[in-house]
Amino acid sequence: MWTKILEIDLTHKNFRILEEEELFHQAMGGTALATHLLERYADPAGDPLGPDNPVILAIGPFSNILPIATKTTALFKSPHTGELGETHAGGRLAMAIYNAGFGALVIRGASSDPVVLDIDENQVIFRSARALWGQSASATERILRARDWAQPGKKSILRIGPAGERLSTYACATVDTQRHFGRLGLGAVLGSKKLKALVIGGNRYQKITDKKRFKGLYDGIYEAVVSSGVMRKYHDLGTAGNILKLNQNLGLPTRNFNQPWFEGADKISGEVFGDRYLSRQIACAHCQCGCIHLATLREQFHEEHGFKTFQVSYDFELIYALGSNLSIDSPDDILRLLHKVEKEGWDAMSLGVTLAWATEAFLGGLIDTTQTNGIILHFGDADTYLKVLDQMARQTTDFYRDLEKGAAFCAARYGGRDFAITFGGNEGAGYMTGENTFTDWLMGPRHSHLDGAGYAIDLECLTTDLSLEEQVKKLVAETRFRMLLNSLVICLFARSVYQEEVILEGLNLLWRPCSSADLEIFNQETLQRKYTFKMKCGWQPNLIEVPEKLSRVITSTGKVDPESIKKRAALYWREVGL
Amino acid sequence: MMKKHLTVIARDQCIGCLSCMFACSRTWHEALTTSKAALKVRSYTGSEGNFSIRICKACLEPECVAACPTGALSQKENGALQLEAKECVSCKICVESCLIGGLAWDEEFSRPLPCFQCGACVRYCPNQVIAMTREETDNVD
């Protein structure tokens, strides 16, 4: 693994390369390394959209080298929650950062004018991006992909759409073909720095040191990925296959979490998308699974056989956010919304939950047509939601500007806090499975369903008798273990492939000698470091707020009791051990 | 002459994972990269889209070998190319002479990356895009 960090200063348009062997030896890579760097570079009290908020991109010891170590972690102070911002993305970025010879990038300062970073193994060129400012995330990639810049080999392109330029606090940053640093507003942080895009590549590489041992490790992982069947579902229907499963288990959020069952689920299932809309699956670099599902949507724009087609990626979370949670039961409509979201560069989940809040607020009389420019919001109306997205993109009223700041912000301004489905300021994901999920989102380091997979524990509780204490311990144990997975940095879809013995063999070959006990300490320290940063930002574990509405609805595991969640949160915090 | 050689049999099944390129670089250069691969997977725009795989098809009368001004590049009986690196003058004429783009270039050492027709790329392709075939094939898919 590489032990160099590329530090870029956008304010002064310069860069330096730091050799950090000791830090990589201690912090491995990915999320652990990035947390160390966040401590070094970020002011927890600082403005997330100010020049001093660093963006840290980190890869791990398996990146580019082993199958499905495809992710890059991004850490920053989130403009959406005001505390730890963490999000992961695939594509070719991890490979390209490796090829450029770096283990991490730190982007500091802010440019006065729009800029594109052109990075290879020897230099960073600061190119003016005035002409790119305002371009969609999709067009930006097309334009930059065609430039004949200096990067040898395969290059990766990270960019923001107009939503990031407008500083929408849930703007995402897009990587290559529709992969995203989706959550917590990395797009806005890049927008505040006037950093429209980053193009990176290079030709650096390392040699295999122990060929026989490496081949044994590699082939074992390869066969598990390709032949064992454990990853088949991700290639086949993809996560969209969860629509019907969750619906059957009363866990699919519908109409702003009003109910856990969507009457139109059969029409927007992974099976329907797979049978009728899927045009192909593609893969991140060095992932033999290929889980990126691209749908083709054909639309007639002229009566005389004038057609246009879009290719849009989809997965479970997107179908939930812009489908069931908005009561939209047409795949065509969901894809039309996603196409717009892709171009603007919003986080689809936060956007969907915010639109759902807005609809309920409108129906409840908290907002009216004077604020919406005459638009009447109601669930199930995709054409109206498309108009809303257009109004947001054009910032036609204060209300539409506010919608770009998320459900919690809007609820604070207009009312409706009880039905703003946010957890620690972040909008909920597509699981209405019960208290483990909600505890996960409230207490997890990044308020994400990917923190501890609480939904899986809820579903396990349907068939297994686990005490409340056992459930919480399981949740925290999973969250802790993911510190390791996210430091490596593997795609979490491959978590069943990367069992501890595989990880240890890989680390002993590619990082440094370590044992199972070493990893336990590593995971615990990493988790605690994250919480320490969060608390320095002002987050407090005892000040959690469960959206009141959730105590009135049914979930997979029955009714949710806010007092029980508070008890779980206290237990969770005890397990964290700070 | 019927030689066993690589053929792209299902370009449309390629998912762009680059596993073949990693395998080639690992096998022949012990290098953890795609940049030492004798084949290329490229994102391809235009009406057909998807990915384009450029491999050496072990031509019966290879243009690259004929074009080499020093004789550094030659072809073995089994169709595999071989390079006498000391004789290579880095003129890149071999790469330019291959109309189908089937000969890759080593940026680090400024010389071609000949394909040895070993089948490592076939072994590590998860979607059966490339195969070793005995048929004579005129077209790259």
Report pLDDT digits (tens) over A256-285.
999 999 999 999 999 999 999 999 999 999
In the predicted model, is pLDDT for residue A11 greater than 80? yes
Mean pLDDT across chain A: 97
Residues A42 and A165 in one domain: yes
Report pLDDT digits (tens) over A71-80.
999 999 999 9
| pLDDT of res. A78 | 98
In a domain, A205, yes or no: no
- Compute the residue count for chain A: 578
In the predicted model, is pLDDT for residue B137 greater than 60? no
| Low-confidence winner among A30-39, A141-150, A510-519, A556-565 (lowest mean pLDDT) | A141-150
Averaged pLDDT for residues B53-76: 95
Averaged pLDDT for residues A414-441: 98
| pLDDT of res. A226 | 96
Our CA dihedral for B27, B35, A1, A92, rounded to 10 degrees, sits at -120
In the predicted model, is pLDDT for residue B138 greater than 60? no
CB-CB contact of A96 with A154 (8 Å): yes
Pick the last residue of a domain from A182, A200, A218.
A200
Both tokens assigned to A444: 């997890």
The residues with which B54 forms a beta bridge, in sequence order, are: B40
B30·A211 Cβ contact <8 A: yes
| pLDDT of res. B135 | 59
Report pLDDT digits (tens) over A469-489.
999 999 999 999 999 999 999
ipTM computed for the complex: 0.88
Q: Say how far apart CA A576 and CA A407 lie, in whole Å.
A: 28
In the predicted model, is pLDDT for residue A86 greater than 80? yes
Query: Where residue A121 sits, what CATH number does that domain have?
Result: 3.60.9.10
If interface means Cβ-Cβ distance under 8 Å, which residues of chain A face chain B? 64-65, 67, 95, 99, 145, 152-154, 203-208, 211, 218, 222, 225-226, 280-290
A283·B35 Cβ contact <8 A: no
In a domain, A324, yes or no: yes
Query: Where residue A278 sits, what CATH number does that domain have?
Result: 1.10.569.10
In the predicted model, is pLDDT for residue A219 greater than 90? yes
| pLDDT of res. A468 | 98
Residues A444 and A417 in one domain: no
Residues A183 and A90 in one domain: yes
In the predicted model, is pLDDT for residue B109 greater than 70? yes
A208·B127 Cβ contact <8 A: no
Residues A543 and A457 in one domain: yes
In a domain, B140, yes or no: no
A281·B19 Cβ contact <8 A: no
pLDDT tier for residue B2 given thresholds of 50, 70 and 90: low
A282·B15 Cβ contact <8 A: yes
Q: Say how far apart CA A310 and CA A57 lie, in whole Å.
A: 30
Q: Say how far apart CA A128 and CA A113 lie, in whole Å.
A: 7
In the predicted model, is pLDDT for residue A317 greater than 60? yes
Chain B contacts of A218, Cβ < 8 Å? 26
Q: CA angle A481-A54-A576, nearest 5°?
A: 25
Report pLDDT digits (tens) over A185-214.
999 999 999 999 999 999 999 999 999 999
| pLDDT of res. A150 | 73
Residues of A340-378 as b/e, b for ≥16 C-beta within 10 angstroms?
A: bbbbbbbbbbbbbbbbbbbbbbbeeebbeeebbeebebe
B124·A145 Cβ contact <8 A: no
Both tokens assigned to A157: 């392109």
In the predicted model, is pLDDT for residue A506 greater than 90? yes
In a domain, B139, yes or no: no
Chain B contacts of A204, Cβ < 8 Å? 33
B32·A205 Cβ contact <8 A: yes
In the predicted model, is pLDDT for residue B136 greater than 70? no
B124·A222 Cβ contact <8 A: yes
B15·A283 Cβ contact <8 A: yes
In a domain, A213, yes or no: no
In a domain, B67, yes or no: yes
Residues A264 and A190 in one domain: no
Both tokens assigned to A469: 């204490």
Pick the last residue of a domain from A423, A438, A468.
A423
Of the residues B17, B41, B47, B124, the best mutation for testing chain A's interface (the one with the most A CB atoms within 10 Å of its CB) is B17
Cis peptide leading into A489, omega within 30 of 0? yes
Q: How much of chain A, in percent, has pLDDT values that exceed 70?
A: 100
| pLDDT of res. B50 | 82
Instruction: Give the residue numbers spanning the domain of B15.
Output: 5-133
Residues A269 and A146 in one domain: no
User: Closest Cα to residue A86, out of A229, A207, A184?
Assistant: A184
pLDDT tier for residue A149 given thresholds of 50, 70 and 90: confident
In a domain, A207, yes or no: no
In the predicted model, is pLDDT for residue A151 greater than 90? no
Q: How much of chain A, in percent, has pLDDT values that exceed 90?
A: 97
In chain B, the DSSP E strands lie at 5-8, 40-43, 51-54, 73-75, 81-83, 104-106, 111-113, 130-133
Chain A contacts of B26, Cβ < 8 Å? 208, 218
Count of domains in chain A?
3
In a domain, B31, yes or no: yes
B16·A282 Cβ contact <8 A: yes
pLDDT tier for residue A230 given thresholds of 50, 70 and 90: very high
Tell me which residue in A145, A222, A290 faces B15 most closely, judged by beta carbons: A290
Residues A264 and A352 in one domain: yes
In the predicted model, is pLDDT for residue A355 greater than 90? yes
CB-CB contact of A145 with A199 (8 Å): no
Chain A contacts of B108, Cβ < 8 Å? 203
Mean pLDDT across chain B: 91
Count of domains in chain B?
1
A203·B35 Cβ contact <8 A: yes
Minimal Cα distance from A70: which residue of B? B17
Instruction: Give the residue numbers spanning the domain of A196.
Output: 4-200
| Low-confidence winner among A18-32, A138-152, A536-550, B87-101 (lowest mean pLDDT) | A138-152
Cα distances from A374 to residues A203, A406, B44, in angstroms, run 55, 21, 44
Residues A70 and A46 in one domain: yes
| pLDDT of res. A178 | 87
Shortest distance between the Cα of B4 and any Cα of chain A, in A, equals: 25
Q: How far apart are the two ends of chain B, measured CA to CA in Å?
A: 22
Both tokens assigned to A477: 């144990």
Residues A68 and A134 in one domain: yes
In a domain, A185, yes or no: yes
pLDDT tier for residue B47 given thresholds of 50, 70 and 90: low
Query: Where residue B76 sits, what CATH number does that domain have?
Result: 3.30.70.20
Of the residues A203, A284, A511, the best mutation for testing chain B's interface (the one with the most B CB atoms within 10 Å of its CB) is A203
Minimal Cα distance from A211: which residue of B? B30
Shortest distance between the Cα of B52 and any Cα of chain A, in A, equals: 13
Residues A487 and A550 in one domain: yes
Residues A409 and A487 in one domain: no
Report pLDDT digits (tens) over A529-554.
999 999 999 999 999 999 999 999 99
In a domain, A227, yes or no: no
